[in-house]
Amino acid sequence: MGEEEESGGGVPEWLVTFGDMMSLLLTFFIMLFSMSEIRQEQKYQAMLEALHQTFGYDTSSASLSPGKNTPRNAEFEALASLGRAQRAHTMKGGAPVKAPVGDNKKVTAPRPDGDPTIAGVVYFNEGDSTLTKTDKRALVAIAGRVAGMPQIIEIRGHTSNKPLDKNSPYRDHADLAYARCRAVEKFLLEQGIDKKRIRLGISSGNELKYDGTDRLLQKENPRVEVMLTHEIARKAKE
């Protein structure tokens, strides 16, 4: 019996599959390169919508796209205000959320002279401006860190946003914050810090360190920050 004739020409089936895979990979990398070159938000959103329409679009997933999601069709336009879509700069932390917790935590406001170095923080009891022994030990350490330097030292007083006691000796939160600053200033002067280097500032309850309901963390609000600024103190005229 003669041998069976070999099958005709062609390529193996696995090679066809391999070719399809390479085509898909090439398409994928072209898409990645195109996305890296996008400079306009509208073009980026248009590309996202095209991909959603091609591969399936779950209406709830509109909130998963970073940045401002601005669909150009009526079906999804109403969903643009939901979820994370309207939180600007989602990839960089999101937008402020009016709640005890959220994407952005409270931060210290920038100062006019740039970003100062915080030499130390002294915490006070609620509604009080008296330095405790612990506060004085902390201020001795702070004085040692800033002594002999030429920069202005800013002493900035903070309070909580709780109403003052009806028997409080202070008129308002600003008065309380100022009293705390004066107490810290007096102690630093006693440690030999030059008065010409000291600047007082108050924020009252406008720069809360914690704005939530945890009572332990709320104790971080009544405080005085001692900051070493970038401004050089002026020398007295001889």
Q: Is residue 8 part of a domain?
A: no
From CA 230, how far away is CA 149, in angstroms rounded? 11
- Tell me the range of 105-109, 177-181, 206-210, 233-237 where mean pLDDT is highest: 177-181
Residues 76 and 130 in one domain: no
198-204 vs 151-158, strand pairing mode: parallel
pLDDT at 90: 45
Please say whether the beta carbons of 74 and 81 come within 8 A.
no
Q: Is residue 190 part of a domain?
A: yes
Please say whether the beta carbons of 161 and 210 come within 8 A.
no
Digit-coded pLDDT (tens) for 86-138: 444 444 444 444 444 444 445 444 454 455 688 899 999 999 999 999 999 99
- Indicate the number of domains in the chain: 2
Residues 53 and 159 in one domain: no
Single-letter code of the amino acid located at 122 = V
Whole-angstrom CA distances from 80 to 49, 65, 145 are: 13, 10, 52
Please say whether the beta carbons of 200 and 185 come within 8 A.
yes
Q: Is residue 3 part of a domain?
A: no
pLDDT at 238: 39
DSSP annotation of 181 reads H
Please say whether the beta carbons of 233 and 149 come within 8 A.
no
pLDDT at 43: 67
Q: Is residue 100 part of a domain?
A: no
Q: Is residue 77 part of a domain?
A: yes
Cα atoms in the Cβ-side hemisphere of radius 13 Å centred on 195: 5
pLDDT at 38 over 60: no
Range of the domain at 39: 13-92
Residues 121 and 195 in one domain: yes
Q: Is residue 102 part of a domain?
A: no
This prediction has a pTM of: 0.53
CATH of the domain at 160: 3.30.1330.60
Residues 70 and 23 in one domain: yes
- Tell me the range of 48-52, 71-75, 141-145 where mean pLDDT is highest: 141-145
Mean pLDDT of the 182-188 span: 96
pLDDT at 187: 96
Residues 86 and 168 in one domain: no
Residues 189 and 136 in one domain: yes
pLDDT at 64 over 50: no
Q: Is residue 202 part of a domain?
A: yes
